[in-house]
Structure 1
């Protein structure tokens, strides 16, 4: 896997590292070890969890574009495991600005479904709050690779949302096979990827990262509108590597 070195980008992005159903929760997963994923973010509206996200620098969170409707005021919670607890030293921050790709259209949420949230201030990193590296250019995750997803979404279709961070392992699906299941109208082999497995995402997990190794390679985007973790219509993720020029431009504008 080709990894973009932070040193090569230091002149532009000093605070960002690179390495290699709309609104979708974790089905058939298990509780994550508390704070084992210190990059995980709860994106909230009116103090209620609506989407996942992940910290990619000390000022920016990455999530799905469909998690914001142009009028919402969102906040993010960092360093949390149990969203009910106020005593685990989690941090609540306001979003200062919202950045969606120019070609994102809310009517077609399956295209360009990625967003950067600029936080009100730099995050104070600690053992429970750390950023995760994101995939570099020309990164192609081989079909069959075992990766993982996590979130605070529903535990089953139309079920209850989890207050605890849940996680599960998934396998990357061949892109052409995914395209054959969703069709070219919905699926782009250059901008998206699919996973499958015993567990997967559900409502409330949108915006969370697909993590392969120690790298976030994609953003949870959409799936079967009627069934979480469907075997017929696999969960779809937005490839981060397809948006690196845009990401570098946005973050570079604030450095």
Structure 2
């Protein structure tokens, strides 16, 4: 998926480097990723997120940031696979509160992370489960094959997919990523790189959330997608929601 159809919607007037996407993906087995949620406005999908406890969803801060204005008007939809299909299994929960990282920068995309507290706890079942996050700070080994998933376009400016899609990605060496993006854009302590876009999951653990990529080309060979490294924010996360593992 590309553009505004992944784990985050990109609502900036300045599209310097926010286009990310899943390309060459396949449809996920329905409900095989029960942690994936659709964040919606007026019952329309605008972005995705990760359920990391029975009452908190993680996404990027700029999902709610448009033209310099913070506009958090979202409903969380759990248990979804095909978004337009009316199903009694879908659960809609309003967001009670929004917790953005206080040091988020719209220029550098550093600290691009947001926690959404649900109005009520999610009732877990086969289609709705939360995913673990790292328990300690650390890097994912370069060359590791992980996976991403999301709803939306399958190529740059291409046709949208209503069903959850997935693909594998390879984690890139931090030095190589920094050489492609420059130190001004890429911070190895707070970010990591892969070869496609979306919520980054390694094994059974969510390790990254999509932050930015090439503004013109999904899955660019020259400018790899960059993820906010979840393990770099454990103290901040625990200060808001406690230990979820």
Question: Taking structure 1 as the reference length, what is the TM-score of the superposition?
Answer: 0.84
Q: Is the 2:143–2:170 contact (alpha carbons within 8 Å) kept by the matching residues of 1? A: yes
What is the count of residue pairs matched by the alignment?
A: 223
The verdict on how the C-alpha distance between 1:185 and 1:227 changes in structure 2, with shifts beyond 3 A counting, is: same
What is the 5 A alignment of 1:129-144?
129-144=128-143
Match of 1:246 among 220, 223, 236: 236
Aligned to 2:34: 38
Q: Is the 1:23–1:67 contact (alpha carbons within 8 Å) kept by the matching residues of 2? A: no
Aligned to 1:222: 212
What is the 5 A alignment of 1:53-132?
53-69=49-65, 70-87=70-87, 89-105=89-105, 107-108=106-107, 110-132=109-131
| Secondary structure of the structure 2 residue equivalent to 1:243 | helix
Shift of 1:154: 1.4
The verdict on how the C-alpha distance between 1:23 and 1:251 changes in structure 2, with shifts beyond 3 A counting, is: farther
Shift of 1:109: 5.6
Q: Is the 1:175–1:193 contact (alpha carbons within 8 Å) kept by the matching residues of 2? A: yes
Name the stretch that deviates more: 83-92 or 230-239.
83-92
| Secondary structure of the structure 2 residue equivalent to 1:236 | strand
- Cα deviation per residue 1:10-30 (whole Å; 9 max; x = unaligned)? xxxxxxxxxxx4363421100
- Cα deviation per residue 1:138-182 (whole Å; 9 max; x = unaligned)? 322100000000000211101122110000001000001000000
Structure 1: 4+ residue segments shifted above 6 A = none
Question: Taking structure 2 as the reference length, what is the TM-score of the superposition?
Answer: 0.87
Quick check: which one's strand share is greater?
2
Structure 2: state its 5+ residue gaps: 1-16
What is the root-mean-square deviation in Å for CA atoms of aligned residues?
Answer: 1.5
Q: Is the 2:81–2:164 contact (alpha carbons within 8 Å) kept by the matching residues of 1? A: yes
CA separation in 1, counterparts of 2:182 and 2:209? 20
What is the 5 A alignment of 1:88-237?
89-105=89-105, 107-108=106-107, 110-196=109-195, 200-201=196-197, 205=198, 209-237=199-227
- Cα deviation per residue 1:181-211 (whole Å; 9 max; x = unaligned)? 0011110000000012xxx23xxx5xxx200
